[in-house]
């Protein structure tokens, strides 16, 4: 095509009238060619990323079978739907929910009968697409334990012990009678009680350094002291209150708070943190702490391993929008919605797992012989359940939140899925092998911090501990099982890695790719071309 053929008659005449020269035409042509080349390159990149992600298989979508096993709906999440005397769900209401899920129709969801005023939490996000990373329906997780399984007894017993231990400071576990009983009942030591299985979870203070250290926030510092509930602020310890909440009515009791904000020192404190946090709060805080710490001189603009930052030895330029702090904080928020879409796909489309508070009702009705429910015998004989009855006069699982669980099914845990995804980004942006200096612990007054002697964790270990803290915080509230957390953490990792595969291809700088150590200790490598391979 010639230069003149690219111009319209009007454009040519306007050019002549304005004194258009051959040099001007040549420059315009070069600009046009560059523009076309850039757009073609951008399109090619999008095509390659989309094609690679399209090779993923759709998840198996296999449930634990409880929905078919118990056709009365007793094994599934039914909170907020019309109920009978012993929490039996109205079959028409549950069928309306299933019909809406099958049709994916907004109008069908609007037809679902409700018993109270609380609305279902975003079921249609289960069907949403996402333009970065793998499709939300392509991430597989194992089916959760069946309601009548031995594994369910382990999950639930831990929750009953946690409810009894909510007000015990983590530092007092070795001397508290109730935590010693809990450790014995769960076949743990007091030091390992309610901790994760990750490499850093059993070391140092229970709470991650990223939930203790002050957060640099622009021109100020945010001390991590929080307003927390007073001891003993438990809910749904009577059948009347429990029944009201299961029907979806708002709670009539409210939390009583301590007047003085303090550092997180108990399970109840941690639960309250995860009651009102925004989705990626903990991980953004961790990034801000790392960005503004001594890592600045070591990581060159605070991002990527020191031997993997293309700007680390440069005396001319530095990173910011790429390989820098702006990118790090953006990426942490960027993986939240794909993680939630993947989690909600599993929650609503596949598992619809019964929440712990609902299961507590089945335990209570069975133990009081009001109704026989299909539960594992060891759960009905649990020492933890008996201990709660001795404390409250009821077999229900005490809840830390007045409203109990959110209005969506239990499996997997949303907080845990976000934790897994955000942990991948933190590990991509910061050197996990470096030591986190200046470790602190909460002083006995709970209002101040002091140096934590002899504890120098790695950044990676503290990222893992932070992720587990936030996931387990929901268990401290009584609204998730440990198996919800573990599935969510793994799912979140998978989502985060898939997004990282797309992002790795967007740089003009030369770099080696991302090396990530997963929660289970396995290592993976995201190449600059977006391949995910074992490291």
- Helices 414-429 and 336-344, packing angle to 10 deg: 150
Q: What is the pLDDT of residue 5?
A: 37
Residues 323 and 210 in one domain: yes
In a domain, 191, yes or no: yes
Residues 359 and 499 in one domain: yes
Q: What is the pLDDT of residue 34?
A: 63
In a domain, 517, yes or no: yes
Q: What is the pLDDT of residue 23?
A: 58
Kindly state the average pLDDT of the residues 180-195. Answer: 96
Tell me the per-residue pLDDT of 401-447, one tens digit each, with 9 for 90 and over: 999 999 999 999 999 999 999 999 999 998 888 889 899 999 999 99
Residues 211 and 166 in one domain: yes
Tell me the per-residue pLDDT of 227-271, one tens digit each, with 9 for 90 and over: 999 999 999 999 999 999 999 999 999 999 999 999 999 999 999
Residues 381 and 404 in one domain: yes
Kindly state the average pLDDT of the residues 82-87. Answer: 90
Q: What is the pLDDT of residue 431?
A: 87
* CA 135/CA 128 separation, integer angstroms: 9
In a domain, 429, yes or no: yes
Q: What is the pLDDT of residue 307?
A: 64
Q: What is the pLDDT of residue 26?
A: 56
With a CB cutoff of 8 Å and minimum separation 6, the contacts of 134 are 53, 56, 338, 494, 495, 498
Q: Which pLDDT band holds residue 294 (cuts at 50, 70, 90)?
A: low
Number of separate domains in the chain: 2
In a domain, 59, yes or no: no
Least confident of 11-15, 306-310, 327-331, 504-508: 11-15
Of 348, 337, 340, 346, residue with least CA distance to 140: 346
Tell me the per-residue pLDDT of 34-48, one tens digit each, with 9 for 90 and over: 668 999 999 999 999
C-beta of residue 225 within 8 angstroms of C-beta of residue 214? no
Token pair recorded at residue 92: 């028409």
Residue 278 has pLDDT above 60, yes or no: yes
- % of the chain at pLDDT higher than 70: 91
Domain that includes residue 482, residue range: 66-534
Distances from the Cα of 58 to the Cα of 230, 345, 348, 418, 481, angstroms: 46, 12, 16, 21, 26
Q: What is the pLDDT of residue 30?
A: 62
Token pair recorded at residue 135: 């499709």
Residues 292 and 255 in one domain: yes
Q: Which pLDDT band holds residue 512 (cuts at 50, 70, 90)?
A: confident
In a domain, 434, yes or no: yes
Kindly state the average pLDDT of the residues 68-79. Answer: 94
Q: How far is CA 2 from the centre of its chain?
A: 57
Q: Which pLDDT band holds residue 392 (cuts at 50, 70, 90)?
A: very high
pTM above 0.85, yes or no: yes
With a CB cutoff of 8 Å and minimum separation 6, the contacts of 331 are 425, 428, 429, 499, 503
Token pair recorded at residue 379: 């759960």
Residues 367 and 443 in one domain: yes
Q: Which pLDDT band holds residue 15 (cuts at 50, 70, 90)?
A: very low
Q: What is the pLDDT of residue 198?
A: 87
Token pair recorded at residue 235: 């809910």
In a domain, 261, yes or no: yes
Residues 123 and 230 in one domain: yes
Kindly state the average pLDDT of the residues 177-185. Answer: 97
Residues 27 and 146 in one domain: no
Q: What is the pLDDT of residue 16?
A: 43
CB atoms within 10 A of CB 368: 12
C-beta of residue 90 within 8 angstroms of C-beta of residue 81? yes
C-beta of residue 245 within 8 angstroms of C-beta of residue 358? no
Q: Which pLDDT band holds residue 297 (cuts at 50, 70, 90)?
A: very low
Q: How far is CA 272 from the centre of its chain?
A: 16
Residues 154 and 20 in one domain: no
In a domain, 60, yes or no: no
Residues 133 and 45 in one domain: no
In a domain, 61, yes or no: no
If 0-12 CB within 10 Å is exposed, 13-18 middle and 19+ buried, where does residue 142 land? Answer: middle
Residues 32 and 123 in one domain: no
Residue 17 has pLDDT above 80, yes or no: no
Grouping H, G, I as helix, E, B as strand and the rest as coil, residue 172 is: helix
Q: What is the pLDDT of residue 14?
A: 43
Mean pLDDT for the chain overall: 91
Grouping H, G, I as helix, E, B as strand and the rest as coil, residue 248 is: coil
Q: What is the pLDDT of residue 535?
A: 87
* CA 201/CA 217 separation, integer angstroms: 27
Q: Residue 351 sits in a domain of what CATH number?
A: 1.10.606.10
Token pair recorded at residue 31: 């600009």
Residue 9 has pLDDT above 60, yes or no: no
More confident residue, 428 or 13: 428
Kindly state the average pLDDT of the residues 297-318. Answer: 63
* CA 155/CA 142 separation, integer angstroms: 16
Query: Read out DSSP for 84-120?
Result: -TTSPBPHHHHHHHHHHHHHT-HHHHTT---SSSPPP
Token pair recorded at residue 493: 């990792």
With a CB cutoff of 8 Å and minimum separation 6, the contacts of 304 are 323, 428, 429, 430, 431, 511
- % of the chain at pLDDT higher than 90: 79
Residue 224 has pLDDT above 50, yes or no: yes
Which of 29, 54, 79 is the last residue in one of the domains? Answer: 54
Q: What is the pLDDT of residue 33?
A: 64
Residues 38 and 179 in one domain: no
Q: Which pLDDT band holds residue 19 (cuts at 50, 70, 90)?
A: low
């Amino acid at each position: 095509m010639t230069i003149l053929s690219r111009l319209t008659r009007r454009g040519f005449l306007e050019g002549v009238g304005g004194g258009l020269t051959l040099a001007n035409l040549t420059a315009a042509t070069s600009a046009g060619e560059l523009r076309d080349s850039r757009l073609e390159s951008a399109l090619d990149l999008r095509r390659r990323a989309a094609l690679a992600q399209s090779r993923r298989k759709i998840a198996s979508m296999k449930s634990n079978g409880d929905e078919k096993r118990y056709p009365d709906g007793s094994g599934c999440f039914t909170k907020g739907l019309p109920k009978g005397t012993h929490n039996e769900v109205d079959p028409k209401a549950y069928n309306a929910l299933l019909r809406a899920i099958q049709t994916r129709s907004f109008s069908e969801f609007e037809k679902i009968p409700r018993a109270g005023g609380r609305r279902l939490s975003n079921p249609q996000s289960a069907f949403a697409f996402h333009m970065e990373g793998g499709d939300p329906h392509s991430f597989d997780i194992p089916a959760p334990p069946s309601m009548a399984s031995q594994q369910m007894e382990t999950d639930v017993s831990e929750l009953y012990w946690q409810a009894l231990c909510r007000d015990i400071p983590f530092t007092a576990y070795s001397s508290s009678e109730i935590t010693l009983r809990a450790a014995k009942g769960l076949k743990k030591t007091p030091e390992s009680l309610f901790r994760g299985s990750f490499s850093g979870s059993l070391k140092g203070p229970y709470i991650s350094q990223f939930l203790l250290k002050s957060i640099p926030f622009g021109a100020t510092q945010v001390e991590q002291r929080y307003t927390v509930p007073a001891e003993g602020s438990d809910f749904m310890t009577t059948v009347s209150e429990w029944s009201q909440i299961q029907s979806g009515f708002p709670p009539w009791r409210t939390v009583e708070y301590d007047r003085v904000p303090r550092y997180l020192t108990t399970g109840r404190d941690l639960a309250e943190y995860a009651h009102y946090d925004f989705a990626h709060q903990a991980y953004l805080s961790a990034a801000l702490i790392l960005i503004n710490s001594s890592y600045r001189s070591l990581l060159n603009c605070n991002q990527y391993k020191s031997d993997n930052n293309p700007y680390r030895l440069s005396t001319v330029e530095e990173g910011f929008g790429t390989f820098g702090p702006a990118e790090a904080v953006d990426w942490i928020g960027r993986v939240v919605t794909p993680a939630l879409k993947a989690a909600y796909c599993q929650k609503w489309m596949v598992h619809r797992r019964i929440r712990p508070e609902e299961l507590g009702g089945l335990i209570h009705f069975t133990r009081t012989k009001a109704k026989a429910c299909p539960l594992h015998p060891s759960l009905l004989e649990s020492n933890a359940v008996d201990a709660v009855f001795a404390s409250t006069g009821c077999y229900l699982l005490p809840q830390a939140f007045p409203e109990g669980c959110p209005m969506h099914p239990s499996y997997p845990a949303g907080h845990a899925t976000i934790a897994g995804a955000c942990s991948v980004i933190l590990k991509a942006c910061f050197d996990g092998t470096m030591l986190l200096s200046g470790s602190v612990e909460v002083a006995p007054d709970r209002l101040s911090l002091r140096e934590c002697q002899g504890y120098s964790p790695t950044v990676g270990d503290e990222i893992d501990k932070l992720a587990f803290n936030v996931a387990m915080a929901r268990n401290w509230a009584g609204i998730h099982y440990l198996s919800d957390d573990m599935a969510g953490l793994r799912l979140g990792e998978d989502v985060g890695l898939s997004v990282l595969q797309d992002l790795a291809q967007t740089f003009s700088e030369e770099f080696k790719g991302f090396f990530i150590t997963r929660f289970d200790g396995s290592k993976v490598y995201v190449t600059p071309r977006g391949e995910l391979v074992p490291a």
